[in-house]
Chains A and B, each alone.
Chain A
């Protein structure tokens, strides 16, 4: 099950994701991201604090989102991942390329810093 709530913090989209980002739910997340990108919202912070589990399909969707937003001159930041989600990012080393930070404030700061360049 996956539930995505969309909000804004300045010009950054904040996605509050709840549930599990797994093979059976990734299309739902992709759909939400695609809608945002179509409307030119390309600075996205995904709050993963309520995501209890993510598998490699979920990781793949994060990578795809990172690639899509980067291509459009934007950015993805993942914030507040649970222990299980952190493990997937770390063991694959995806966190070397996708920004994963512990708090929303860190996420917003990172987007502001990177988007200044």
Chain B
């Protein structure tokens, strides 16, 4: 699978730069260069994961590796040097909008739950002092007749 690597400073503007690049790469694998449903979901999850790395990792730089397989599957690995931090350790709960009290409506904490719902797998490992978080998604959902086909 072709691999593209980025190194980001821990700034949200850098995440946006990476997001645009990832979007271009995904689009190049899609028919008519237009992102399908699954690609959009992967892009959303990737952005949330990179945002989390900026906000919580404490790393001075964030490595991102994107692997694509011709509109069939894609993975993104975020690598940060530092203390072990496993975001998959607990089940991510989506903050709820059910409260009748408007003041109680959540304004944050959505990231991990969005990630887990938008990709097929989230994997974590810690080796040689580095956190590796990998998101995987099939772009063609044969059971559902996905838009990317």
B117 touches A91 (CB 8 A): yes
* B40 part of interface (Cβ distance < 8 Å): yes
Could you say which residues of chain B place their CB within 8 Å of the CB of A87?
Answer: 40-41, 44, 118
**Closest residue of B by beta carbon distance from A52:** B23
CB-defined interface of A46-63 with B at 8 Å, one 1/0 digit per residue?
Answer: 000000010111011101
Contact A60 B108 (CB under 8 A): yes
Which residues of A have CB within 8 Å of B37? Answer: 83
Q: How many residues of B contact A (CB 8 A)?
A: 32
B6 within 8 A of A: no
Using Cβ atoms and an 8 Å threshold, which residues of chain A touch B130?
none
A83-B97 contact, Cβ under 8 Å, with A24-B13, A63-B105, A88-B114? no
Q: Is the CB of B94 within 8 A of A55?
A: no
Q: Is the CB of A57 within 8 A of B51?
A: yes
Residue with the highest number of chain A CB atoms closer than 10 Å, among B43, B106, B110: B110
A71→B102 contact, CB < 8 A: yes
The answer, among B47, B97, B114, for a CB contact under 8 Å with A22, is B47
Q: Which of A6-14, A31-39, A92-100, A105-113 contacts B (4 or more CB under 8 A)?
A: A92-100
Query: Roughly how many angstroms separate A92 CA and B95 CA in the complex, as a whole number?
Result: 8
A45 and B37 CA atoms in complex are apart in Å by: 27
Q: Does B65 contact A (CB under 8 A)?
A: no
Known: A60-B108, A63-B107. A97 touches B97 (CB 8 A): yes
Say if the beta carbon of A64 comes within 8 Å of chain B. yes
Residue in A24, A63, A88 whose CB lies within 8 Å of B12: A24
Q: Could you list which residues of chain A lie within 8 angstroms of chain B, going by C-beta atoms?
A: 20, 22-24, 53, 55-57, 59-61, 63-64, 66-67, 70-71, 83-84, 87-88, 91-94, 96-97
30 intermolecular pairs with C-beta atoms under 8 Å apart: A22-B12, A22-B15, A22-B47, A24-B15, A24-B16, A55-B44, A56-B51, A56-B110, A56-B111, A57-B51, A57-B108, A60-B106, A63-B105, A63-B107, A66-B102, A66-B105, A67-B102, A67-B107, A83-B37, A84-B40, A87-B40, A88-B44, A91-B114, A91-B117, A92-B113, A93-B94, A93-B96, A93-B97, A94-B97, A96-B98
